[in-house]
Amino acid sequence: MQEPTLLLLTALADAPRHGYALIQEIAAISDGRVKMRTGTLYGALDRLLGQGLIEVAAEEVVDGRARRTYALTDAGRGALATEAERLRAVATEAERRLSVAVVSPRVRGAFA
Amino acid sequence: MQEPTLLLLTALADAPRHGYALIQEIAAISDGRVKMRTGTLYGALDRLLGQGLIEVAAEEVVDGRARRTYALTDAGRGALATEAERLRAVATEAERRLSVAVVSPRVRGAFA
DNA sequence: CGGGATGTGCCGGTCGGCGATATATGTAGT
DNA sequence: ACTACATATATCGCCGACCGGCACATCCCG
């Protein structure tokens, strides 16, 4: 699972949302750094529907505009929890290794 | 940056290693779950060299076999640290949202 | 002498992300 | 009335990363 997909699931984790709201939510989560395009969004949505990680929670017409609301399934919640835990583990390991890195001779000299 | 790439940088974070050793190190990090293929490895290595995140630390011949050892550059260490922090943030947000999720009516009934 | 571990490298397929584009309606400004 | 922007959904083709498979070479063990 790649990051845009993970962000999508994260944006659905606390409450069901429709496509356009997801784009905004992801921008908010990432402090404006990630601007998901509709190409990425609807492709990922289709894929996640096929994988059973999300489902269509509602289809309604608001102000003349169709709106389809998606929600995480139990499987989606599980997948997100697993993925989050795995990523945290990798991040922790990366940081641990950086901190115990073999100090280069040049830098080691600073402690001599 | 994708996960195989992140794993590669992580495997190089504590000490320089050569290609084959990286495959084994990544398997160890992931508890045997990730078996990186050579196609992925050398492709990523080339890319990371081009990006200046890693460098060739040594080229030697051991037991008649050529061995090329790679090491993280300062830029690579920085990129890995940044990436690890970002991933941790996403993982934390995902877990937070899962925990504060709107409880569905069906489940909410269990608390009534 | 065959098989497995060590070691590097290429090639083609596949899949996900991305930019571009299209369509349609509501709202606000001029 | 016209324009522009936000809301909202959807498709298409390109590209880059990943991956499986293959090739090549040496060393060690049975």
Name the nearest CA neighbour of A69 among A52, A53, A38, A45: A45
User: Positive or negative, the Cα torsion across A93, B96, B83, A3?
Assistant: positive
Which domain does B74 fall in, by range?
A: 3-98
- Closest-CA distance of chain B to residue A111, Å: 19
B51 touches strand D (CB under 7 A): no
Is A103 a member of any domain?
no
Is A111 a member of any domain?
no
Residues A51-92: pLDDT tens digits?
A: 999 999 999 998 888 899 999 999 999 999 999 999 999 999
Q: How many domains does chain B divide into?
A: 1
Name the nearest CA neighbour of B11 among B52, B48, B39: B48
Is A12 a member of any domain?
yes
Report whether B106 contacts B95 (CB < 8 A).
no
Contact B84 A95 (CB under 8 A): yes
Chain A residue with CA closest to B76: the answer is A98
| pLDDT at residue A28 is higher than 50 | yes
How many other CB atoms sit within 10 Å of the CB of residue A38?
Answer: 11
Q: Which residue has tokens 């495959």?
A: B23
Residues B50-90: pLDDT tens digits?
A: 999 999 999 999 888 889 999 999 999 999 999 999 999 99
- Closest-CA distance of chain A to residue B28, Å: 12
